Amino acid sequence: MTKSKTNRQFRPVGVPDVSLSGFWGKWQDAVCNSTAETLLDRCVEAGMLRAIDVDQPSPGIVIPIQPWGGTTQMFWDSDLGKSIETIAYSLYRQPNPKLEARADAIIDLYEKLQDEDGYVNAWFQRVQPERRWTNLRDHHELYCAGHLMEAAVAYYQATGKRKLLDVMIRFADYMIKVFGHGEGQLPGYCGHEEVELALVKLARVTGEKKYLDLAKFFVDERGREPHFFTDEAIRDGRDPASFIQKTYEYGQAHQPVRDQRKVVGHAVRAMYLYSGMADIATEYNDDTLTEALEALWDDLTTKQMYVTGGIGPAASNEGFTDYFDLPNDTAYAETCASVGLVFWASRMLGRGPDRRYGDIMEQALYNGALPGLSIDGKTFFYDNPLESSGKHHRWVWHHCPCCPPNIARLVTSIGSYMYAAADDEIAVHLYGESKASFSLANGSEVELTQNTNYPWEGSVEFKVGLKARSNFALSLRVPEWAIGATLTINGEKVDVGSHLVDGYVRLEREWTDGDRLALDLPLALRPQYANPKVRQDVGRVALMRGPLVYCAEEVDNGKDLNAIVLPRQLPAAQTSVLGDLNGAVAVDVEVMREDASDWGTPLYRSEPAKRASAKARFVPYHLWDNREPGEMLVWVQADK
Amino acid sequence: MTKSKTNRQFRPVGVPDVSLSGFWGKWQDAVCNSTAETLLDRCVEAGMLRAIDVDQPSPGIVIPIQPWGGTTQMFWDSDLGKSIETIAYSLYRQPNPKLEARADAIIDLYEKLQDEDGYVNAWFQRVQPERRWTNLRDHHELYCAGHLMEAAVAYYQATGKRKLLDVMIRFADYMIKVFGHGEGQLPGYCGHEEVELALVKLARVTGEKKYLDLAKFFVDERGREPHFFTDEAIRDGRDPASFIQKTYEYGQAHQPVRDQRKVVGHAVRAMYLYSGMADIATEYNDDTLTEALEALWDDLTTKQMYVTGGIGPAASNEGFTDYFDLPNDTAYAETCASVGLVFWASRMLGRGPDRRYGDIMEQALYNGALPGLSIDGKTFFYDNPLESSGKHHRWVWHHCPCCPPNIARLVTSIGSYMYAAADDEIAVHLYGESKASFSLANGSEVELTQNTNYPWEGSVEFKVGLKARSNFALSLRVPEWAIGATLTINGEKVDVGSHLVDGYVRLEREWTDGDRLALDLPLALRPQYANPKVRQDVGRVALMRGPLVYCAEEVDNGKDLNAIVLPRQLPAAQTSVLGDLNGAVAVDVEVMREDASDWGTPLYRSEPAKRASAKARFVPYHLWDNREPGEMLVWVQADK
């Protein structure tokens, strides 16, 4: 596998250019039928519309100011933004005039709210107008703006309606005046990254490089000395030393981003920053950013990531702790953080296909992000433990409702993570029943159809639709776990190994309408052991099948899941399809089970528990807590 | 082993009646030389003397009111009380006129502080006098009084000085007027139990039954309906439903104590309540209390206790959670809670020797309470995890400084837990180099000398000193772990089994001056496995030797202690004496060790780590973090 060194720039295909059915189609239907409207209802119940409606009195401080100096009410714009973005994507799939009208009404409110100078922010226009731009470190102003920008781009692409896009263009133009090194300008950036990647989206949809330049400015300034947050605090009469998060690592502002090599702080912030950095690296072919990003990538994925692609083990900072510290039952592993990891991974693919990123994107998508949503699209996980004694369940809502719209917008826009295009190349990063259209810069018009029951089965068939014979490269990811993967083109076997470039089969040729490819990815059940430095996983094993992490649930296996012991040599597993779990493939394995029934009264004794043969059923982790509630366990005891 | 059903009443011997050397002598010296004065210094630094000095202005609210409606400043009297109690015990062992003078000065302040009616409380006289007796649920008034009573009794016994005793007698007499079912009386009790056991001590030292009756009143009223805390809240204009601890289980006031069968809530509160209940059961021969206490004892020790005798796994309520929920790295297991368990166990022995209680008392003493103090007596553990990644260390002080004086007063009064006496019987509950005097009600004057290097060695020799031949029974505990224990009297072998009553060798005979007993308790290293329902301990094993739990420390074994795997069949262990650890016996064992060195980059892989033979050193858990700081682990991986 050789690393290609070209300066190709891959950009995700537009969400409208991919239509999904099969696995992802079902999830998108759940969002279209339930989540999209639910999100809006909950935002309204929380009072968010009143907050932006200039015809109503200001709501004032509804959620009290917290010790960190702000309130989650300050991020209401972001909740509305992500909800509108979700609605936009849902409208591609399923027109819904009523929902569209509700979104239009919110957009009207934002237009009326916008100041003459272009500024838009519910809190800093309506509750604390005197505090605008006074505390970028804590107050999420640019973060909110970023989410509204993403919503604006999505809504424009979905409906062709420019109103919100124009609002956010005016805001972005105003930001260009506010931020910089000129006289009276702020050389600052947001404590919670987000606006960087949003400005890249705005630049791509408008074709305006100035928004890229502003994003690059925010990336470049971050962590420089003299430190903006310190100067800002002093200007604002706050003691910089009293920062409740103690260190600028919390927001990855402890050193210039190009010097960063260790993933630290708040997990979602980190993912959004690295996503923005990767976008800038792609757009500017900036190798100095890529060098930092590759080091950060390795740091995260080899020392700080759950097997689920969950990241950020600690609730205290919603983020990272020590290397190899991955507690399972108390895992924070916020849904948003894995969504952010998918964002970052997809942007690391901007400089060319590489399964280092594609494999982790898939792992985090299925096992870190997707658990955040229930099958019916109505309830949400915020934190994602890998072990539960039976008390952890999806929420109807959360006091900080960032995760529900985040997983919803990811699910509804998943097509743009599956496929990316460069001038003369198409990359397929994810597999799933779908149809995608590409207009390549070299003039090729391509329609690519995937027929597959992936991830339940490993066979993936492609049909190439062309108006004319075309030259382009098609790169298909061969996951590292897919030992023995095979490929045929029009029935003829292709040697996968000799075509592998960075873990993708790269097929550069003249394609003909109707060309057919058949990729087979063996989905053997495989044990996963953690590096023994992960103290919480020693003596334990997890099961994966294809990209999916499996877990045991009480509903299938009774109580005391920790009594299950998986044999060292994994026995043949039987699979069955569970109709009540979205057609998921369950796996039944012969195991040993410790027997507590004759243990006796004492809590401790000199003899270990007896063992007996038993059968255990494992189901995909992302589907847990969708049936009868109870215990859940990913890492089961391993025989030695 | 038969359960004796007599109504014997065993009461602990007075602290001055036992002198310690050997193991406990060293610990008492540490308290006498360092801790006792340190406690007082820290109390002074915190401002506690100013708080009770009527010649100085009130300090006001030094520690802000917390969401639970109070502040730890409200318990300052208890900190002073426990410190004076520690000083009192230390003065038995080692006269210290300077320290005694400091204690006298504090007692003078309390005498001056006392109201005409007898009330004494720093907070409710000096900061919020209008709030006296308005919130027994939260405000610790009687708890503070209890600790001052314990101090008063100890100080009187140590020095013969009655001043503090008289202050607290006046306060107790006032309480008798305040509490009851009469017109204008409060049918209440304290949210934090403590005064109950303190009143028993006051009754025993004064011979006044009225204090026993008041203690019994508090015990009897607890949890009755209509609920005092609910009525009190309404009277006080508070919403009873807004109780921050959510349930009266927090203070074991959710049902009448005689109906309680499950150990719940705040661990220290629970232990203090059960101690008071056991005292009342002993003094009144109240079997209805004993029935509840025995059920609670089993509930705690068979479902909710760490192998260390640590209890209360959760920080959130400083207490109990679910059955078998015993996380090791996040264990709260407050030092005070294990001190309280020692209190309770010793009082369960009030109705006669029974190793059910004696064994656990010893286990909790050595492994749950004693770790709270460093060898030099200068630093303190508040919470006691059974696993540390290297960041958990003893504190110089704590924002809630309850634990330092609690372990210090236990260490300095340990003699009274070792021996107890009934009318014609002496019970030896704990072993250790010491000399004890008894004046039995039947007229026997006995001096009992223990010569032993226990707990490092298992041989214990007793010499009986008598002025005249005497008839009494001597009961020596044979711990359940001491398989093959032997005993000789004056060189003649005694059949241990045939003399065992409730786990004690009971020797009822005419004793002669100079009689010698030699008890041998085999200290074989033994593995301890947890009931597999304890999910945190599955696949793991702990090591005990005699009463001591052992652990591995990084200073002996390097990093990554979780890589150590103990073989199923424990190999012969080598012992050695560590001079730098108070002469502790360390244990070296042949183990396997997982090797992460060739693991490679990925965090997860399909092959488990290789193993290699290695040696591991285990040291007594109570001594951990006394050398170079680093990782610590009690439950190591077990081969299966």
Single-letter code of the amino acid located at B188: G
C-alpha distances out from residue A579 to A379, A582, A619, Å: 20, 6, 12
> For residue A404, which of A620, A21, A86 has the smallest C-alpha distance?
A86
Interface mutation vs chain A, best among B604, B610, B634, most A CBs within 10 Å: B604
Tokens of B330: 């996040």
Q: Considering only CB atoms, which chain A residues are within 8 Å of B562?
A: 532, 535, 538
| CA gap B273, B210 in Å, rounded | 19
Which of B322, B531, B596 is the closest to A533 by Cβ?
B596
Which of B327, B329, B529 is the closest to A604 by Cβ?
B529
B447, HSE (Cβ side, Cα atoms, 13 Å): 9
The whole-angstrom distance between A637's CA and the closest CA on chain B is: 7
B220 CA to centre of own chain: 24
Which of A322, A532, A540 is the closest to B594 by Cβ?
A532
| CA gap B551, B632 in Å, rounded | 7
Give the residue carrying structure tokens 């002073």. Answer: B80
The residue of chain A with its CA nearest to that of B302 is: A603
The whole-angstrom distance between B594's CA and the closest CA on chain A is: 7
Q: Tell me, what DSSP letter sits at residue B66? A: P
Looking at domain B419-520, which of 2.60.420, 1.10.1660, 2.40.128, 3.40.50 is its CATH number?
Answer: 2.60.420
Contact assignment for B606 to A640 by CB distance below 8 Å: no
Q: Where are the beta strands (DSSP E) in B522-583?
A: 525-530, 540-545, 548-553, 564-566, 574-578
Q: Give the pLDDT score at B597.
A: 87
Which of B307, B322, B638 is the closest to A604 by Cβ?
B307
Q: Considering only CB atoms, which chain A residues are within 8 Å of B303?
A: 603
The residue of chain B with its CA nearest to that of A327 is: B329
Q: Considering only CB atoms, which chain B residues are within 8 Å of A307?
A: 603-604
Q: Considering only CB atoms, which chain B residues are within 8 Å of A302?
A: 601-603
Contact assignment for A565 to B640 by CB distance below 8 Å: yes
Contact assignment for B603 to A301 by CB distance below 8 Å: yes
Contact assignment for A609 to B531 by CB distance below 8 Å: yes
| CA gap B582, B25 in Å, rounded | 11
Contact assignment for A389 to B322 by CB distance below 8 Å: yes
**What is residue B462's three-state secondary structure?**
strand
Could you report the per-residue pLDDT of B484-504, keeping only the tens digit for each? 999 999 999 999 999 999 999
Do residues B567 and B640 touch, judged by C-beta distance below 8 A?
no
The whole-angstrom distance between A87's CA and the closest CA on chain B is: 37
Contact assignment for B609 to A529 by CB distance below 8 Å: yes
| CA gap B28, B21 in Å, rounded | 9
Mean pLDDT, all residues of chain B: 95
What is the DSSP secondary-structure string of A431-496? --SEEEEEE-TTS-EEEEEEEE-TTTS-EEEEEEEESS-EEEEEEEE--TT-TT-EEEETTEEE-H
| CA gap A217, A189 in Å, rounded | 9
Which of B303, B560, B605 is the closest to A603 by Cβ?
B303
Do residues B202 and B172 touch, judged by C-beta distance below 8 A?
yes
Sign of CA dihedral B37, B38, B43, B44: positive
Could you report the per-residue pLDDT of B110-137, keeping only the tens digit for each? 999 999 999 999 999 999 999 999 999 9
Q: Considering only CB atoms, which chain B residues are within 8 Å of A527?
A: 606
> For residue A539, which of A568, A504, A573, A576 has the smallest C-alpha distance?
A568
C-alpha distances out from residue A538 to A188, A332, A371, A433, A595, Å: 44, 20, 25, 38, 21
Which residues of A are catalytic, by number?
A: 318, 402
C-alpha distances out from residue B583 to B367, B376, B430, B586, B623, Å: 17, 14, 19, 9, 11
Which residues of B are catalytic, by number?
A: 318, 402
Which of A538, A541, A637 is the closest to B562 by Cβ?
A538
Q: Considering only CB atoms, which chain B residues are within 8 Å of A640?
A: 565, 608, 639-640
Q: Give the pLDDT score at A522.
A: 97
- Decide if domain A16-379 falls under CATH 1.10.10: no
Q: Where are the beta strands (DSSP E) in A118-243?
A: none
Alpha helices by DSSP H, listed for B285-391, are 287-303, 335-348, 355-364
Length of chain B counted residue by residue:
640
Q: Considering only CB atoms, which chain A residues are within 8 Å of B66?
A: none
Longest dimension (CA), chain B: 79
What is the DSSP secondary-structure string of B181-244? SSTT-B----SS--HHHHHHHHHHHHT-HHHHHHHHHHHHHTT-SS-HHHHHHHHTT--GGG-T
Residues of chain A with pLDDT below 50 are 1-5
> For residue B342, which of B360, B322, B356 has the smallest C-alpha distance?
B360
Domain limits of chain A?
Answer: 16-379, 419-520, 528-638
Sign of CA dihedral B97, B102, B107, B111: positive
Chain A and chain B share a number of CB contacts under 8 A equal to 127
Do residues A244 and A234 touch, judged by C-beta distance below 8 A?
no
| CA gap A295, A290 in Å, rounded | 9
Give the residue carrying structure tokens 């873990």. Answer: A503
The residue of chain A with its CA nearest to that of B531 is: A603
Contact assignment for B538 to A606 by CB distance below 8 Å: no
Q: Which residues contact B540 (CB under 8 A, 6 or more apart)?
A: A539, B530, B635, B636, B637, B638
> For residue A280, which of A194, A219, A346 has the smallest C-alpha distance?
A219
**H-run or E-run covering A38:** helix A36-46
The whole-angstrom distance between B333's CA and the closest CA on chain A is: 17
Residue B620: cis peptide before it, omega within 30 degrees of 0: no
Q: Give the pLDDT score at A122.
A: 97
Contact assignment for A531 to B604 by CB distance below 8 Å: yes
The phi and psi torsions of B220 (rounded to 5 degrees) equal: -65, -35
Could you report the per-residue pLDDT of B428-467, keeping only the tens digit for each? 999 999 999 999 998 999 999 999 999 999 999 999 999 9
Q: Give the pLDDT score at B6.
A: 58
Residues of chain B with pLDDT below 70 are 1-7, 400, 640
Q: Considering only CB atoms, which chain B residues are within 8 Å of A534?
A: 603
A185 CA to centre of own chain: 34
| CA gap A275, B94 in Å, rounded | 67
Q: Give the pLDDT score at A7.
A: 67
